[in-house]
Structure 1
C-alpha cells in the first residue's frame, strides 16, 4: 500500500540531488554549507524512520547548527538566459501556467480516485500521495513540452531553495513545536485561562476566544499548524464541539483559516512574509506584512461570523 514512504522517498531524492548540485556549484562560495544542509534533509526523509527519536533529533540540531552559523549562501548557477525566458514568455503567453495547474488537478482527482481504491493507497494519506503524483506528472509534462536539459528543473528548484534558505523548513519545525506544546499540556493551561475569561454559556465568547486565539498564537508561533493543537485542545474540542455541539469539521476548518489570518500579520512566518521581501529587494522588510494586514483583519472577522453561523446548526 502506497503511503508516506513514497512521499518521503520522492522528497529525499530531491534534496539529495540538491546536495550534489550545491557541492558542485562553483558560483556559491558557501556551497559546502548548502550541500550539508540539503544532505541532512535528504537523510531525514530517506532514513528518518530507521534512525529513531535520538537520531532525528541529532539531524534537527545539525540543521540548526548549519543555518545558524551562517554557513549557507546563494549560488548563481545559470540554466537559461534572460532573453530565452522572455522569448518563451512572449511565445507561450498564459499557456506557460498550464503545467502548474496539473498539480492541483491531480491532487483533487487523485484524492477521489485513491479513496475509491483503498487497497492501492493509504486512505489517510490519499491527498498527499495524489499531490506528490501531481508534482511528478507536471514535471514530466514540462520536460515533454519545453524540452530543457534533464538537470534544469532540479537546478531551478535549487535556485529557489537557496533564495529561501533555512526558512524552507520553518513550517515543519513549528508544526512539530505545536505537537510538543500539545503533549506538554499547554492547551490545558490555555483552556483553564480561557474558562475564567469566557462568560458562562456564551457561545459567541467561546467563538471569539477560539478564532482570535488561533490568530494570536499563529502570530506568536509563526504557523497555524503549530497553533492548532494548542487551541483545539484548549477551546475547540472541549467547548465548541463537546459543550456547544459544534460540527468538528467546521470548527477545525474555520479555526485553521483564522490562524492563517495571523500568518499574514507576523514576521515569525518568515518563509511567507520576510523571504518575499528579501527576494524582491524591498527596503522595508515588513512591507509584505503591511500590505496584508488590511486583508487579514476583515477576513478574520468573516471567519468569526462563519463559525458562529455555520458551526452550530
Structure 2
C-alpha cells in the first residue's frame, strides 16, 4: 500500500483541526477563540490543498496574519505533569526517552531509500511510528499526546508557518528576476575572472541572503541563478553537484545566525523558556563562522578539481 504526500498533508490538516477543537474546549486558554481560528484556518489549507482556489488561500493567509498581528494567539491549560513528576519519569526511562525520536529519522530513511513514496512521506510515517512508540512506552492516551502537541504548537505560535512564507518569498524573488540584479551587483564589485572571488561571493551571498530570508532553500534559488550558474559554473566550469551542495551548506551557516530562521533559533528559545531570546543564535555563531570558512575552502578545492 502506497501513501501519497497529499494524504500526509490531509492528515496534518486534520491534526491542526483537532488542536483547534481542543483549544475551543480549553476554558483556561488566554486567547482560545483567536488561537482556535488560527489553527483551523491553517488546517484547512492543508486539507484543501490544490482544490482551494488560490485567491481563497491568499485570503486565509491574510486572516491568519491579522490574528497574529492583533496578538490573538496565546497559551492555555494542557494538563501537564508537575516538574517533580517529569523528573521522576525521566529517571525511570533514562535514555529510552530518545527511542521515539530516533525512530523518526530511521523510518524516514528507510521509506525514502526503499520505496517510491519519497522522504516527506517517510517523515510523516516516521512521526506516526515515533508517536506510537512514545505512547506504548509511557502508556499514555492519544488525548495526552494531543494536548502535548497543542502545547508545543501554541508555544511556537505563528512562527510555525514562517518557513512556508519564506520559501514562497524566495520563489517570488526568483520570478521577479532578483537573481539577475544580484549577478549585476557581484559583477560590479568582485573580479569575475578570479575563481576564488566568485566562490567567496557565491558562498557568502548564500549566507547573507539566508540570514535575510531565514531559509536557505529560498536563498538558493535567487543566489544560484544570479551567481552560481552564470559565474561559478558556466564561466569557470565548477562541478554543479559539488558547488551546489557546498553553497547550500554555506546558506545553513546563515541559518545559524539569524532570528528569521524562527523554527531553528526562535522556537527552541521559546520552548526552553530562555530569558535571552537570541541565546541560541549567540551560542551558534562560534560554530557558524568557522564552518563558513571551511565551506568556502572546500568549494574552491573540490568543485574545480576536474578543471585544473
TM-score range, shorter chain: over 0.9
Is the contact between residue 202 and residue 223 of structure 2 (CA under 8 Å) also seen in structure 1?
yes
**1:74 aligned partner:** 75
**1:158 aligned partner:** 150
Is the contact between residue 224 and residue 256 of structure 1 (CA under 8 Å) also seen in structure 2?
yes
Q: Distance in 2 between matches of 1:156 and 1:51?
A: 30
Matched, 1:284 2:276: yes
TM-score of the superposition, structure 2-length normalised? 0.93
**1:38 aligned partner:** 39
Q: Secondary structure at the match of 2:52?
A: helix
**2:108 aligned partner:** 107
Q: Distance in 1 between matches of 2:132 and 2:256?
A: 34
Q: Secondary structure at the match of 1:26?
A: coil
Q: Secondary structure at the match of 2:151?
A: helix
Is the contact between residue 152 and residue 271 of structure 2 (CA under 8 Å) also seen in structure 1?
no
Q: Distance in 2 between matches of 1:270 and 1:129?
A: 24
Deviates more, 1:102-111 or 1:273-282: 273-282
Q: Secondary structure at the match of 1:74?
A: coil
Q: Deviations over 1:93-146 (max 9, x none)?
A: 11110111001111111111114xxxxx3xxxx111111111111112222222
What CA RMSD, in Å, does the superposition of the two structures yield over aligned residues?
1.6
Within-5 A mapping of 1:132-281: 132-281=124-273
Q: Distance in 2 between matches of 1:174 and 1:105?
A: 28
Q: What is the deviation of 1:275? A: 3.4
Is the contact between residue 253 and residue 291 of structure 2 (CA under 8 Å) also seen in structure 1?
yes
Number of residues paired by the alignment?
304
Q: Secondary structure at the match of 1:151?
A: helix
Q: Distance in 2 between matches of 1:198 and 1:3?
A: 46
Q: Secondary structure at the match of 1:274?
A: helix
C-alpha change, 1:306 and 1:150, in structure 2 (3 Å) is same
Q: Deviations over 1:143-165 (max 9, x none)?
A: 22222012111111110111111
Q: What is the deviation of 1:253? A: 1.9
**1:118 aligned partner:** none
Q: Distance in 2 between matches of 1:4 and 1:71?
A: 31
Is the contact between residue 108 and residue 130 of structure 1 (CA under 8 Å) also seen in structure 2?
yes
Is the contact between residue 219 and residue 251 of structure 2 (CA under 8 Å) also seen in structure 1?
yes
Q: What is the deviation of 1:250? A: 2.1
Matched, 1:19 2:11: no
Q: What is the deviation of 1:281? A: 4.0
Unpaired segments of 5 or more residues in structure 1?
A: 116-120
Matched, 1:61 2:53: no
Q: Secondary structure at the match of 2:277?
A: coil
Q: Distance in 1 between matches of 2:62 and 2:76?
A: 24
Q: Distance in 1 between matches of 2:180 and 2:53?
A: 29
Q: What is the deviation of 1:223? A: 1.8
